[in-house]
């Protein structure tokens, strides 16, 4: 497989997963706010923070209100983190690798783009938002299914899986971030805002699980009532749940293993696995969880760099 | 309101489906009756269904001038064009004959130049040709074939016979649209396929792959065939990607390829460098190799010509094949057929006047308002003078151009392109069309059954180029008499 094609199909995988995950994030956040008392300290700004594009947002929008944040993350074609942008980039990468992806998968990716382009701005209003995001999520799932069922599980597919696992691990840490930011008492006092009382903590963690379609599997795995410590441990360390960080890293490891010249990338993945499995969640929840998650995300960026160096075209020197 | 064929009037033009108001040609009768059985709403629904299919299948082409939205949906009219098998068989033989002669000519020009020595063709024409590549002199490509893929433009005059308008021997495009048009028609009018025996066209990618694979310089059953594209901004990118996908070949860009010290071509893969045997190149000669041609080209591959001249890689079409894709050389094709093959041409050229000949030039200059003047080497309908629709200033400008460089111009009378019914907003109306069949030559020769029918979507217009607002139709070759 051509290095250039590998690179494009990798980005196809990342953008598809990113679009789906961002849709999940917006969906859960919108529902979460309905369950919390009005005027509580959970603000829309948190969403902008966890997607890592605060600067871009502040440049263009005056207020951190619901409409601005949703527009920014859903329908703002100029925001690189917006769903519309992810979908467009996924389509562009698919369009330039059409010769190797199944035609029906391309048609659906194209449809996802056309659908999102035509409907994204409708989701700024609360009413139609849920249905819109759900549709985007379903379409992403359908594409993943088509790729799994109609594309040979060769190097090309391997790069999609690599991209998906990495993007997914990254997004799971971001969603854990949301949960922690909203419930951790230390932060509340830090910001001088009102603390969220105990009953809401449960609601928030439930929402976090739901955003990753993890609530049911969590319940089967841990019968006890929903507790932050268990949720974070489940999402970071569970070996079997497909969106847990540990599971994503294990899958990433297996996929990388099938490629040539994989030594450096594998080493980074192993380091990350150790970081995740060796973590003492209870202690981290007491202090240092946010810093820990930051470190993990840096590690993911390193993994990406090694993938790029090993298999993609060298960046042309001007 | 449903279609009223009695109010459909093609006038003096040859119409492909309707011979005179209310009367469909024999093979088109079932189609005409079927279309009339649909209500206006049903017809518009089918049209919308076709547009949707094109949108979701992502059948697109690229327009350079429209920055921002570079990818446009392919324009398509749902009413197919019908040609009978008997008529097509003869045309198809004529196309084969033509390409065989053209390949003999190209090979001769780069080797012995017998045709010039025998004065069948003036040597001056080659000396001043913009497409003659001196770097190719002495080269003997496999099977002595240079133009492996040819797209020949045919038109039908009022008498109903086909004439050759031009041969495209450099990087002709359109075949993917021919294939996709058929797919769309199958989605939109599946019922019609029950009543007609329509020759299948889906075999083309396999034929193309076989033609290309047979050019491989290395023995063995698994030649590495790649399609070389200038990239996603090229107007035909869709086609490059489509053909690569259909053939199961890699779609490469210049940066993916490298010529090593052994003068062989390799592509950069995730497992390192991998040897390439055959390149179906969809970039022009001058961009192929910056070491030989345009030094600032970033589309090509440094050293590619070296590898080709040494016989380490096959290029299709071969560099320099364009020497025969020249509107002046075109006028000599009938003589070439007699000279190289000893046969009478089965397909006629559109009558042409050469400006390089003093007498003919005089005629052209005196009749600029009646003629179509074409430069030798433009494609896509650019740089032409449409005499009858021209202004005085345009005619004066062309007169100056012709006098300054007579070798570069030829003129043809305005041929009446045939028409076919096109579904418009309110009714069906005649629009002018042409036909581009595709011919493959390698070890064997193959002609597509039918080809790409291009439509001038504007009433009365003769301009069928998609870059200038042209549309297209599915083209059916059916056994005589319909069902």
Q: In what helix (H) or strand (E) does residue B409 lie, and over which residues does it extend?
A: strand B409-413
Work out the number of other CB atoms within 10 angstroms of the CB of residue A136. Answer: 28
Q: What is the pLDDT of residue A186?
A: 47
The answer to whether A269 and A255 have CB atoms below 8 angstroms apart is: no
> Rounded to a whole number, what is the distance in Å from the CA of A223 to chain B's nearest CA?
46
Q: Which residue does chain B place closest to A315, by CA atoms?
A: B255
A318 pLDDT above the threshold of 50: no
> Rounded to a whole number, what is the distance in Å from the CA of A90 to chain B's nearest CA?
14
Q: Do B256 and A2 touch (CB under 8 A)?
A: yes
Question: For the purposes of burial, counting CB atoms within 10 Å of the CB of B304, is it exposed (0-12), middle (13-18) or buried (19 or more)?
Answer: buried
How far is B203 from A244, CA to CA, in rounded Å?
A: 47
> Rounded to a whole number, what is the distance in Å from the CA of B92 to chain A's nearest CA?
30
How far is B255 from A7, CA to CA, in rounded Å?
A: 14
Query: Of A21-35, A133-147, B164-178, where does mean pLDDT reach its minimum?
Result: A21-35
Identify all chain B residues contacting A1, using CB atoms and an 8 Å cutoff: 269-271
B209 touches chain A (CB under 8 A): no
Identify all chain B residues contacting A3, using CB atoms and an 8 Å cutoff: 256, 268-270
pLDDT tens, chain B, 483 aa long = 688 999 999 999 999 999 999 999 999 999 999 999 999 999 999 999 999 888 888 787 776 654 555 677 888 999 999 999 999 999 999 999 999 999 999 999 999 999 999 999 999 889 888 899 999 999 999 999 999 999 999 999 888 999 999 999 999 999 999 999 999 999 999 999 998 999 999 999 999 999 999 999 998 879 999 999 998 888 888 899 999 999 999 999 999 999 999 999 999 999 999 999 999 999 999 999 999 998 888 889 999 999 999 999 999 999 999 999 888 899 999 999 999 999 999 999 999 999 888 999 999 999 999 999 988 877 666 788 888 888 999 999 999 999 998 888 999 998 889 999 999 988 899 999 999 999 999 999 999 999 999 999 989 888 887 777 789 999 999 988 544
Report the share of chain A in percent with pLDDT over 70: 92
Identify all chain A residues contacting B270, using CB atoms and an 8 Å cutoff: 1-3, 6, 155, 259-260, 311
Q: Which residue does chain B place closest to A2, by CA atoms?
A: B269
Cα–Cα nearest to B156, from B350, B324, B304: B350
B134: Cβ–Cβ under 8 A, 6 or more apart, which residues?
A: none
> Rounded to a whole number, what is the distance in Å from the CA of B267 to chain A's nearest CA?
7
Q: What is the pLDDT of residue A317?
A: 44
Nearest Cβ partner for A4 among B56, B256, B272? B256
Nearest Cβ partner for A3 among B242, B249, B270? B270
State the sign of the Cα–Cα–Cα–Cα dihedral A84, A86, A90, A92.
Answer: positive
Structure tokens that stand for A220 in this block: 């089967």
Identify all chain B residues contacting A96, using CB atoms and an 8 Å cutoff: 232, 241
**Number of CB pairs, chain A paired with chain B, less than 8 A apart:** 64
Q: Do A95 and B242 touch (CB under 8 A)?
A: no
Q: What is the DSSP letter of B340?
A: I
Q: Which residue does chain B place closest to A97, by CA atoms?
A: B241
Q: In what helix (H) or strand (E) does residue B236 lie, and over which residues does it extend?
A: none
A278 pLDDT above the threshold of 70: yes
Cα–Cα nearest to A181, from A56, A289, A69, A280: A289
Query: Of A193-197, A236-240, A309-313, B134-138, where does mean pLDDT reach its minimum?
Result: A193-197
Q: Do A260 and B253 touch (CB under 8 A)?
A: no
Nearest Cβ partner for B252 among A2, A155, A316? A2
Q: Do A99 and B57 touch (CB under 8 A)?
A: no
Structure tokens that stand for B21 in this block: 């108001």
B394 touches chain A (CB under 8 A): no
B77-84 and B470-478 beta bridge pairing: parallel
The answer to whether B256 and A3 have CB atoms below 8 angstroms apart is: yes
Task: Please give the mean pLDDT across all residues of chain A.
Answer: 88
Q: Do A313 and B268 touch (CB under 8 A)?
A: yes
- Which of B74, B266, B270, B275 to mutate to probe the A interface, most A CBs <10 Å? B270
Q: What is the pLDDT of residue B349?
A: 95
- Which of A10, A95, A99 to mutate to probe the B interface, most B CBs <10 Å? A99
Q: Do A4 and B269 touch (CB under 8 A)?
A: no
> Rounded to a whole number, what is the distance in Å from the CA of B68 to chain A's nearest CA?
13
The answer to whether B218 and B97 have CB atoms below 8 angstroms apart is: no
Which residue's entry shows tokens 């996924």?
A90
Q: Which residues of A touch B (CB under 8 A)?
A: 1-6, 95-96, 98-100, 103, 106-107, 110-111, 114, 155, 259-260, 311, 313, 316
Mean pLDDT across the stretch A300-310? 95
Structure tokens that stand for A188 in this block: 């509340």
Q: Is A231 left (phi over 0), alpha (psi -120 to 50) or beta?
A: alpha
Q: Do A3 and B272 touch (CB under 8 A)?
A: no
Cα distances (angstroms) measured from residue B413 to each of A184, B208, B359, B387: 84, 35, 16, 9
Nearest Cβ partner for A1 among B58, B253, B269? B269
Q: In what helix (H) or strand (E) does residue B253 lie, and over which residues does it extend?
A: none
The answer to whether B354 and B328 have CB atoms below 8 angstroms apart is: yes
> Rounded to a whole number, what is the distance in Å from the CA of A100 to chain B's nearest CA?
6
Query: Of A134-148, A274-288, B89-103, where does mean pLDDT reach its minimum?
Result: A274-288
pLDDT band at A32 (very low <50, low <70, confident <90, very high): confident
Cα distances (angstroms) measured from residue A117 to each of A121, A136, B57: 8, 11, 17
Q: What is the DSSP letter of A41?
A: S
Q: Do A99 and B267 touch (CB under 8 A)?
A: no
B269 touches chain A (CB under 8 A): yes
Nearest Cβ partner for A99 among B232, B245, B268? B245
> Rounded to a whole number, what is the distance in Å from the CA of B231 to chain A's nearest CA?
9
Rg, Å, chain B Cα set: 23
Q: Do B245 and A100 touch (CB under 8 A)?
A: yes
A228: Cβ–Cβ under 8 A, 6 or more apart, which residues?
A: A179, A180, A183, A201, A205, A285
Q: What is the pLDDT of residue A96?
A: 87
Nearest Cβ partner for B271 among A103, A260, A316? A260
- Beta pairing partners, B475: B81
B244 touches chain A (CB under 8 A): yes
Question: Is residue A129 helix, strand or coil?
Answer: helix
Q: What is the pLDDT of residue A189?
A: 46
pLDDT band at A290 (very low <50, low <70, confident <90, very high): confident
Q: What is the DSSP letter of A37?
A: P
- Which of B52, B53, B58, B271 to mutate to probe the A interface, most A CBs <10 Å? B58
pLDDT band at A187 (very low <50, low <70, confident <90, very high): very low
Q: Which residue does chain A place closest to B253, by CA atoms?
A: A4
A14: Cβ–Cβ under 8 A, 6 or more apart, which residues?
A: A163, A164, A166, A167
Angle between helices A228-237 and A198-211 (to 10 degrees): 20
B45: Cβ–Cβ under 8 A, 6 or more apart, which residues?
A: none
Q: Do B56 and A100 touch (CB under 8 A)?
A: no
Q: Do B269 and A110 touch (CB under 8 A)?
A: no
Cα–Cα nearest to A10, from A174, A170, A157: A157
Q: Which residue does chain A place closest to B273, by CA atoms?
A: A2
Question: Is residue B210 helix, strand or coil?
Answer: helix
B245 touches chain A (CB under 8 A): yes
How far is A91 from A112, CA to CA, in rounded Å?
A: 8
Q: In what helix (H) or strand (E) does residue B344 lie, and over which residues does it extend?
A: none
How far is B247 from B269, CA to CA, in rounded Å?
A: 19
- Beta pairing partners, B83: B477
Q: Do A4 and B268 touch (CB under 8 A)?
A: yes
How far is B40 from B63, CA to CA, in rounded Å?
A: 32
Q: What b-and-e string marks burial along A48-65, b requiring 16 or more CB atoms within 10 Å of the CB?
A: bbbbebeebbeeebeebe
Question: Is residue B197 helix, strand or coil?
Answer: coil
How far is B189 from A70, CA to CA, in rounded Å?
A: 43
> Rounded to a whole number, what is the distance in Å from the CA of A107 to chain B's nearest CA?
5
The answer to whether B131 and B377 have CB atoms below 8 angstroms apart is: yes
The answer to whether B332 and B121 have CB atoms below 8 angstroms apart is: yes
Nearest Cβ partner for B269 among A3, A100, A316? A3
Q: Do A99 and B253 touch (CB under 8 A)?
A: no
Identify all chain B residues contacting A111, using CB atoms and an 8 Å cutoff: 56
| Order of strands, sheet of B250-252, starting from the edge strand that comes earlier in the sequence | B250-252, B225-228, B278-281, B314-316
Q: What is the pLDDT of residue B464?
A: 84
Question: For the purposes of burial, counting CB atoms within 10 Å of the CB of A74, is it exposed (0-12), middle (13-18) or buried (19 or more)?
Answer: buried
Q: Do A98 and B58 touch (CB under 8 A)?
A: yes
Nearest Cβ partner for A4 among B57, B242, B255? B255
CA atoms lying within 13 Å on the CB side of residue B478? 25
A88 pLDDT above the threshold of 90: yes
> Rounded to a whole number, what is the distance in Å from the CA of B171 to chain A's nearest CA?
19
């Amino acid at each position: 497989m051509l290095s250039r094609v590998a690179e494009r199909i990798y980005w196809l995988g990342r953008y598809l997963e990113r679009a789906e995950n961002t849709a999940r994030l917006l969906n859960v956040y919108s529902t979460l706010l309905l369950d919390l008392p009005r005027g509580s300290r959970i603000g829309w700004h948190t969403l902008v923070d966890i997607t890592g594009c605060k600067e871009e947002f502040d440049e263009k929008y005056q207020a951190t209100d619901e409409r601005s944040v949703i527009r920014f993350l859903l329908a703002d074609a100029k925001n690189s983190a917006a769903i519309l942008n992810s979908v467009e980039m996924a389509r562009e990468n698919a369009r330039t690798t059409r010769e190797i992806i199944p035609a029906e998968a391309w048609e659906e990716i194209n449809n996802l783009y056309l659908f999102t382009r035509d409907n994204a701005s409708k989701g700024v209003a609360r009413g139609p938002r849920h249905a819109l995001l759900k549709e985007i999520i379903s379409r992403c799932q359908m594409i993943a299914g088509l790729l799994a069922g109609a594309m040979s599980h060769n190097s090309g597919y391997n790069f999609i899986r690599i991209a998906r696992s990495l993007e997914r691990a990254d997004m799971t840490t971001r969603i854990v971030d949301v949960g922690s930011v909203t419930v951790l008492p230390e932060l509340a006092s830090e910001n001088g805002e009102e603390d969220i009382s105990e009953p809401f903590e449960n609601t928030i963690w439930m929402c976090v699980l739901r955003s990753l379609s993890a609530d049911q599997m969590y319940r089967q795995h841990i019968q006890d009532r929903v507790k932050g410590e268990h949720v974070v441990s489940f999402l970071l360390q569970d070996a079997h749940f497909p969106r847990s960080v540990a599971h994503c890293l294990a899958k990433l490891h297996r996929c990388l293993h099938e490629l040539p010249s994989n030594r450096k990338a594998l080493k980074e993945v192993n380091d990350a696995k150790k970081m995740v499995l060796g973590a003492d969640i209870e202690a981290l929840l007491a202090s240092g969880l946010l810093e820990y998650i930051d470190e993990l995300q840096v590690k993911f960026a390193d993994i990406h760099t090694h993938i790029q160096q090993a298999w993609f075209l060298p960046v042309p020197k001007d | 309101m449903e279609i009223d064929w009695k109010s459909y009037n093609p006038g003096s033009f040859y119409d492909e489906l309707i011979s005179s108001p209310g009367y469909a040609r024999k093979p088109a009768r079932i189609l005409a009756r079927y279309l009339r059985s649909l209500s206006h709403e049903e017809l518009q629904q089918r049209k919308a269904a076709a547009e949707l299919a094109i949108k979701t299948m992502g059948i697109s082409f690229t327009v350079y001038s429209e920055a921002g939205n570079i990818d446009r949906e392919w324009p398509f009219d749902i009413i197919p064009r019908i040609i009978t098998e008997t008529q097509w068989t003869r045309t198809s033989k004529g196309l084969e004959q033509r390409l065989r002669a053209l390949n003999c000519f190209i090979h001769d020009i780069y080797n012995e130049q017998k045709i010039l020595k025998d004065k069948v063709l003036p040597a001056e024409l080659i000396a001043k040709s913009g497409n003659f590549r001196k770097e190719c002199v002495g080269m003997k490509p496999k099977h002595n074939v240079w133009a492996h893929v040819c797209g020949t433009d045919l038109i039908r005059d009022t008498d109903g016979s086909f004439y050759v308008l031009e041969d495209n021997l450099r990087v002709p495009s359109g075949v993917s649209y021919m294939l996709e048009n058929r797919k769309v028609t199958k989605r939109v009018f599946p019922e019609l396929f029950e009543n007609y025996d329509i020759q299948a066209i889906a075999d083309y990618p396999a034929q193309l792959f076989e033609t290309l694979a047979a050019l491989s310089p290395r023995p063995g059953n698994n030649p590495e065939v790649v399609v070389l594209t200038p990239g996603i901004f090229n107007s035909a990118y869709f086609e490059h990607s489509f053909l690569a996908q259909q053939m199961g070949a890699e779609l490469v860009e210049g940066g993916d390829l490298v010529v090593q010290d052994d003068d062989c071509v390799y592509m950069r893969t995730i497992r390192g460098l991998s040897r390439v045997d055959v390149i179906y190149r969809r970039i022009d000669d001058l961009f192929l190799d910056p070491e030989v041609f345009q030094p600032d080209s970033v589309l090509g591959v440094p050293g590619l010509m070296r590898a080709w001249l040494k016989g380490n890689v096959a290029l299709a079409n071969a560099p320099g094949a364009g020497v025969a894709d020249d509107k002046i050389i075109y006028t000599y094709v009938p003589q070439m057929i007699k000279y190289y093959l000893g046969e009478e041409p089965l397909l006629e050229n559109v009558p042409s006047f050469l400006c390089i000949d003093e007498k003919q030039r005089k005629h052209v200059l005196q009749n600029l308002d009646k003629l179509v003047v074409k430069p030798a080497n433009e494609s896509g309908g650019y740089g032409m003078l449409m005499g009858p629709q021209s202004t005085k200033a345009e005619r004066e400008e062309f007169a100056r151009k012709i006098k300054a460089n007579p070798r570069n111009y030829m003129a043809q009378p305005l041929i009446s392109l045939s028409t076919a019914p096109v579904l418009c907003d309110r009714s069906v109306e005649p629009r002018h069309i042409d036909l581009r069949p595709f011919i493959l030559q390698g070890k064997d020769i193959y002609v597509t059954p039918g080809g790409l029918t291009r439509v001038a979507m504007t009433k009365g217009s003769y301009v069928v180029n998609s870059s200038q607002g042209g549309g297209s139709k599915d083209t059916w070759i059916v056994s005589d008499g319909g069902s």
